[in-house]
Copies of this chain bind each other. A is one copy, B any other.
């Protein structure tokens, strides 16, 4: 999807937040802010929001000289989520509909997002789990169940560190032989990379690839050839998080998007309030995403 004018003030604020998180040097905060203001004054709004975020966070890494400034945060988030895992697995095991509970919990994990939130604590995560388990959830589960039952090659595109532990619950409901997990190609914000897949035990569960990109999403024209082959071979794609929705909502593929709507632009785009847990399905016609359905209501047309 394109970048909305409403994304711009939000990007400016996020840049300042990120700069302050990474350094106490006020001259650095001012420099990166001025750079981002200059870029955005001339930016191509046909690009998706994660493409600008990619550029901002590359620049933050260059200026701080730290190629993975969120490394410690990601390790903490993985540990926090792994500590919850046995309890979450027990919830799925005892659920009347394990697939639906696993979907809900995978969505709950999407709260662990340092692009949208300044900090994420265990208490935020517990509230998100509670919310995910209790909120109304429209009937896309059966569509995903049906798609899973016939799929030969499932590509699961992860989003953030910590969150990928929650993805293990949903992946456990899929046929393991046919599943590939994709992570980012290089560090950006707290997005999951190969290091996080390994730290959370994924490398022994399913095939794991990286997408070759350091965008906080999946811009196909920035992804590696190996990832694209896997992407186009997949007959079912599950894509987690807003960044994957923003970069793939107009892409070909039989995609189920699972995310929390974290900003007014996305919420308006899918016709739901901010904070809603969304499962949107693209209809998979190559090159055209066509009609989508979301968790909270009837069909929604989007370009």
Q: Which residues of A are at the interface with B, using a C-beta cutoff of 8 A?
A: 5-6, 8-10, 12-13, 16, 26, 29-30, 33-35, 37-38, 40-42, 45
Contact = CB atoms under 8 A, between A and B. Distances in A.
Given A5-B16, A6-B16, A30-B45, 12 more contacts: A5-B29, A5-B30, A9-B12, A9-B13, A9-B16, A12-B12, A34-B42, A37-B37, A37-B41, A38-B41, A38-B42, A41-B41
Contacts of A26: 5
Contacts of A41: 34-35, 37-38, 41
21 contacts: A5-B26, A5-B29, A5-B30, A5-B33, A6-B16, A8-B12, A8-B16, A8-B33, A9-B12, A9-B13, A12-B12, A30-B45, A34-B42, A35-B41, A37-B38, A37-B40, A37-B41, A38-B38, A38-B41, A38-B42, A41-B41
A157 B251 CA distance: 57
| Dominant SS among interface residues on chain A | helix
Contacts of A9: 9-10, 12-13, 16
A37 B8 contact: yes
Nearest to A20: B5
A33 B34 CA distance: 15
A16 B10 CA distance: 12
A268 to B, nearest CB: 14
Contacts of A45: 30
Contacts of A16: 5-6, 8-9
A29 B40 CA distance: 14
A34 B8 CA distance: 10
